Structures are given as C-alpha cells and as structure tokens.
Structure 1
C-alpha cells in the first residue's frame, strides 16, 4: 500500500475493519508498554530478602515516571492529532511542520526535566510516600531511570505521529522492541549481575533507547507519510495550538502522579508500608485495564481526526459508537475477573501475607467502577481527535482533580481510614463516566451535523 492510499484509507475503508487494523496493534503496543512497569515490579518483588520493600520503593517512584511520560504526551498527543487533521485536509507540509516543532519541544523538555528531578529526587520521594525503609530503593531506581528521560520523550512523544498516518503496526513495533528488550534485560541485570533495582532501571533506559531509535529511523525515512526534516525542527507558532490540544491528555496523565502521591501518602499515614505495597500491586493490575482503553482509543483516534477533518461526520459517529461498545464490554469483563479472584492476582506479586491480605480485601472495591471508565476515555479520545481541547481538558480535570483527589483526602478522615482511599476510585469513575456521556451528546449536535453524513 502506498503512502497516499495508506492515509486515504482512513476516509474510505470500512470503519469496523479499519478500527480493528489500527486498534489491535495499538492495544498490543500498550500491553508491551505496560510490561515496563509490571515486569519490573514482578522481578523486583522476587529479589531475595528485600523484594517487598524494594517493590514498594519502586512503586513510590511511579508518580515520577508517569510525570516524565506525561510531558511526552503534552507534545505528542497535541501534535499527532493535529497532523492527522492536516492529512485529512490534504496538507502534508503542515503535518510535517507539526512533527518538526514537536521534536524541538521534546529536546528542550528532555534537557530541563531530568536535571530538576535529579536535584530534588530525595525530598520528592519522601513527600510521595517513601518511608526510611523504602527510600534507598526508590532513590537507586530513580537515579538511573532519569538518565534515559530523552529516550522516553522521543519514543512516546513521536510515536503518535506514526499512528496519526495510519501506520499502527509500525507504531506497535517501536513499543514491542522496547518491551521485549526490557523483558530480556531485567533478569540479567537484576539477578545475574546483582544490580537489583538499579538493574531494573537500567533495563528500562536501554529499552527506551532502542524504541526511540526505531521511531526516529522510521519518521526520517521515505516510508513515512509525515517525514522528519531537519528544516522543520525548530520552535514555531504551531507550538501553541499543539500544547493547547495536548494539555488535556497531559493533565489526564500527570494527574495520575498526583493521585498516586495522595494515595501513597494517605495509605502510609493510615496503614503503613503494607498498604503502599498493596497499592503498588493494584495500580499494576489497573494498568492492564488501561492497556485496552488507551490502546483502542489511540488506534481509533486517527480515524476520528482524519474523517472529522475531511467532513465525513457519519464515519466519525460510527467510529465513536463502536469504540464505546467495545471498551465498556472489555473493561467490565476484566473488572469482574479482578473482583472475583483478588487473592490469585496478589499472589503473582508477593508472598507477604500482610500485603496480600490488603489486596484481597480491597481490590474488589477499588476496581468496581472501572467497567464504566471506558466511557470517559472514548469521549476524551473523540474530543482530542476532533481538535476540541476545552471539553477534553474539563473531563480530565473533573475526574481526577475535582472528584478523586478530594475524595481520597477527605474520606479517610471521616472514619473510613484506608478504606476511604480505595472507595474514592469507583465513586469518581462512575460519576465522571456519566458526566462524559452527557457532555459528548451536547457537543455532538454542533460538531457532527447530519448534513455531513456519508454512506461509506
């Protein structure tokens, strides 16, 4: 398939087949991406003598690693959809200028961000819930991890430009290279070379470096519809619209850091290291749900962006409805598994009866609202795909900063203790899902007029 027909297919091919062809590789890519965190924790948890403390310490680093990746999304999830819309309008030069501006922004972030975090890492980790027993492991992991910040920014931030041109399999390849490399290097560096948590972090750095090399090589090659050209790598006035659109997924991502900080600090205060360790396990399991939600959304977003830019509104509506049905069904199925078999999933990560007991008691409550999480995720995907930053930003702020963070802070103090932290999640999930559905219905009447329908 030529470059032209590759991206033109976004506006002509059957929605169902197109969605599967783009979403399936994106789901696989997200699954591989999740392995970075989950596999690290599984291996670290089995380090003889220190596994549970080391896993908890690395779990405290999670908000920082999420924050690092969120800056990649700020640039990539703003520039990627806008380049997709530009392709839908036939303006390839504009799409390439979005890419060049993104590279310039990512390089700047990759210089400033890790420098600040290296200087402030110890007080940050203490604030984020590290205890004297877990802080050394958290510091060891983060010190090495931050050395690869540039690789994270490039691989995550620029991969969206591959997906934006309908090349989901190529985008999947970049993530698979990194995940499989990390999976291979973890046991070698952690156990065989005796590097412990530093080995896990180094495996991450090497793996992300390989992913970044793959992404850059493809975008600079003739095979890419959106070419990376040296003349376009500069700051331009395109940066403003990109950041404005990207701020919603950025907030969606970085508020995960805020949430984990609130969770960990509250659990450390009311329960101790065992509860922080249990939350580390539960967030790992939640990532498996996010794999499908984020993967499906990333796969469908280019379809929505291209067809919205081309004025094919009926195709946008059908992509939205189909994605919604699939996401809710998958989320409900996975949530049911976690709720029925919490002890089994806890046993994969720990043999400590205290940590396993917390997971077994609280996981069913923690995940019971995740079945509806797909609704908000699809709505935000649709808004970003159509270039609608404001409603997408509102939804990101509403669920996490207006609902979840205040609930996680207030409920424990109302006599619920640690249980209040765990039930804050489902309350926020259900409320935000209903709000998102109503908001999209209102906007759709204006953004997707019936006279733009087509019969393809």
Structure 2
C-alpha cells in the first residue's frame, strides 16, 4: 500500500501537467457524455409514449438532481479532502474520510427516499406535474426513489476514485451502468410493454449494477477501499466534507429548485412547454458534459498539487482546461444552434409546438454556452482547494443569484420566452461574477511559498 501511494503521489506531482490532465480528463469526459446520453435516451424512448410522458421525465428530473446532489456533496466533499491529504502523504486520514463520506451518503439518502415513497403523490405535484402528467410522474418516481441510495452511492464512489487519480476505474463503473440503461430502456418499454415504468426500472437496475462495479474497483490495491471500521463521524470530518462538498450541493440543489419553478411556470403554457424545456435541458447537459469532464480531470491534479504546494503546476493545469473547454464549447454551441430544429424533432417529431419552443430555447442557450467554461473551472478550482466561500458563491451564482430572480422578473413580462431568456442571461451574469473571484484566488497563490520537488515537471 505505501509503495503504491508513493507512486501515485510522484505521478500526480511530477508528470507533465497537460498530459496528466488529459489522461485524467478523457475517462471523465466519457463518463459524463455517456451519462448525459442515457438521460437523453430515456427522453427519446419515452418520447414515443407521448408529450405528457416526456414531460413526466422532465418533472422527475429535479428529484434525480437532488439525489445526485447528495452524491456530489458527500463524494466531492470527501474526495477533495482525500486528494489534499494524499498529496500530503496522509493515507490514514484519507481512508477515514472515504468510509465516513460513503456511509453517511447512503444512510441520509435512504431516509429521504423512504419519505419520498410515502408521499409520492404530493411530491409529484410539488415537482410541477399537471393533471395529465401526474399518472406518468408517480409511476416513474416510484422506481427512481427505490434506486436513490444506489444512485448516490455510485456517485460517491465515482468521485472518490477520481480524486485519487483512478479516473479510468471510475469510468468503467459509470459507463457500464449507463450502457446497460440504454439497452434496457427499449427492452422494458417496448418488448415488455411496460411504458414509462420500464424506463424507470431500467434506470434502477443500471444504477445498482454501476454501484457493484465501482465497489469492486475501490478494492483494487492502488485505491483506498471503504472500510466500515474506519467510519469516523466527527465535527472535524464533517466540517472538511462541508467545505469541499457544499459548493456542489448548492449548485445541484439550486438547479433542482430552479427546475421545479420552471416546470410550474412552463406548465401554464401546457405540457408542450415542460416537454420542450426538458429536451433542451438534456441536450444542454450533453454539451456541458465536455466541460465537466475537463474539470473533473483537473480536480485531482489541483488537489494533489495544492496539497504539495506546487502552485505553478496547479495554475498551468487551470489555464489549460479553461482555454480548451472554452474552444470546445464554442464549437458545440455553433453546431447546436445550426441543427437545433433537427435535434428537438429527434425527440418529438410529431409535435410542432414542442419543436418550436425547444428550437428557440436551445439557440438561446447556445449564446452563453462558451462562457460557462470559466465559471465551472473556477468553481472546481476553488472547491478542490477548500476555498469554501469563493466556491459557494460561484456555485450559487447561476441558479441562486441570477436565474431565480431572472425567472420571477422576465416570466411575468415575456411569458414562456422569459423563461427561455432567463437561462442564458444567468450564465452571462455568473461569468462576469466569476472573473474577479477566480483571479483573486490565483493571485493569492503567488503570495504563498512554493516547495516543488527537484524532479517536478510542468
């Protein structure tokens, strides 16, 4: 074990930065793309069941985002800390954090999901179901709630593996479940004639399989396994977890709140409005997966080198990720804007209203898509470094500081167009806010001492 950890430390703190980031980013990009793809597959296959069924998946999305938010909170909260202490060669602390983060996540989400099952009907209404959407939504939510603890646990293990530098192993677990989901969707929906219930069962099974694979990956000798004897709930452990995980929780949690509000506002304009916005969100998530993959490749490099006080390497990795992800997102935005009608029609070709609303919404999204690279990379850098205040502000900025107020201001004035316009406006405002916050953190690194090993490469 010590030898393996020493090799990992040397690799993370001495290998050429750009190659290291790319090697860690590629598996993360694949994970995010395939995860987004199977979310789109759910929408695509359910689309054959009608506009109300598609809207039901969209209504259920905020709940899934909350479940994932718990996974990001406990997973990134524990993983950020693990990467820093591994950079400082304190393996025992990393093991205690891994066990505490995993067990806490499973228990907490299991309690939430039991409550959700008991109050499933009111929950579906609270998420934005209309009378025509409600039967589909309650059926879909039942199996999503059963899958909740496994979904969160998979996310925690995935994040912990990534922050240890085992991105390829995290890739195997997450991709296996995603691919399985894509194959099970048409099998259960069409072959077994299970309708929207089949899509939810496919998701549940795939999440359980993904969890089992990730659990086995954690037992590989170069990784830190989950040892129940190392479960160490304490104020200091949870304080570190909150510092590292709160930004992710705020980001995902506020996105869920914003989506619920959007569902209610769009519901006034009929199921087509909710369905169109749901499709646009899935497409946007697919494009954003490229950026998130780069960021997740950057995070372990950031954590190890920040813990080892190799600030020059950290900044080089940050600027490389910002430049590359901005260029990629610009290209994606151009393509999405050009082919927006075709993309929306792919999901609901027989509903002209969904196509009309979705095309405009997707093109508006494309205006701000490249600017989100700076926001996300800055957020991931400050979060991994344990800069809780800056990271939390950046996490809240898009949904909390700008999108929610924008919705309440623009929607009464412009109706459905106001909802669509509020999204890119929030992205642009978050970009403006992120510039001084991230630059201040980068300037602080110049003032701190750097103690690089003699063999460190940049």
- What TM-score, normalized by structure 1, do the two folds share? 0.95
Moved more, 164-173 or 364-373: 364-373
Q: Shift of the alpha carbon at 1:124? A: 2.6
Q: Shift of the alpha carbon at 1:233? A: 2.5
For 2:109 and 2:412, locate their aligned partners in 1 and report how far apart those are by CA, in whole Å.
Answer: 39
Specify every segment of 5 or more residues in structure 1 that has no aligned partner in the other structure, as ranges: none
Q: Provide, for residues 159-178 of structure 1, a one-character-per-residue CA deviation record: whole Å limited to 9, x for no partner.
A: 11111111111011111110
SS in 2 for 1:194: coil
User: Does structure 1 residue 316 correspond to structure 2 residue 314?
Assistant: yes
Q: How does 1:306-385 map to 2 (within 5 A)?
A: 306-351=304-349, 352-385=351-384
For 1:252 and 1:282, locate their aligned partners in 2 and report how far apart those are by CA, in whole Å.
Answer: 19
For 2:243 and 2:119, locate their aligned partners in 1 and report how far apart those are by CA, in whole Å.
Answer: 28
Q: 1:46 aligns with which of 36, 45, 48?
A: 48
Q: Shift of the alpha carbon at 1:221? A: 3.6
SS in 2 for 1:452: coil
Q: 1:430 aligns with which of 428, 431, 437?
A: 428
Specify every segment of 5 or more residues in structure 2 that has no aligned partner in the other structure, as ranges: none
Distance 1:30 1:362, change over 3 A: closer
| Contact 1:179/1:207, CA 8 A, preserved across alignment | yes
Partner of 2:303: 305
| Contact 1:87/1:306, CA 8 A, preserved across alignment | yes
Partner of 2:207: 208
Q: How does 1:40-439 map to 2 (within 5 A)?
A: 40-47=42-49, 51-224=50-223, 226-237=224-235, 238-269=237-268, 271-351=269-349, 352-414=351-413, 416-439=414-437
| Contact 2:70/2:109, CA 8 A, preserved across alignment | no
Q: Shift of the alpha carbon at 1:398? A: 2.1
Q: How does 1:8-47 map to 2 (within 5 A)?
A: 8-47=10-49
RMSD (CA atoms): 1.6
Q: Shift of the alpha carbon at 1:213? A: 0.7
Q: Shift of the alpha carbon at 1:448? A: 4.1
Partner of 2:439: 441
For 1:379 and 1:243, locate their aligned partners in 2 and report how far apart those are by CA, in whole Å.
Answer: 18
Q: Shift of the alpha carbon at 1:27? A: 0.3
Distance 1:188 1:7, change over 3 A: farther
Q: Shift of the alpha carbon at 1:288? A: 1.0
| Contact 1:32/1:176, CA 8 A, preserved across alignment | yes
SS in 2 for 1:348: helix
For 1:30 and 1:23, locate their aligned partners in 2 and report how far apart those are by CA, in whole Å.
Answer: 10
| Contact 1:7/1:166, CA 8 A, preserved across alignment | no
SS in 2 for 1:231: helix
| Contact 2:333/2:370, CA 8 A, preserved across alignment | yes
Moved more, 277-286 or 120-129: 120-129
For 2:389 and 2:133, locate their aligned partners in 1 and report how far apart those are by CA, in whole Å.
Answer: 40
How many residues were matched structurally? Answer: 450
SS in 1 for 2:348: coil
Q: Shift of the alpha carbon at 1:184? A: 1.4
Q: Shift of the alpha carbon at 1:234? A: 4.2
Q: Shift of the alpha carbon at 1:391? A: 0.5
| Contact 2:364/2:424, CA 8 A, preserved across alignment | yes
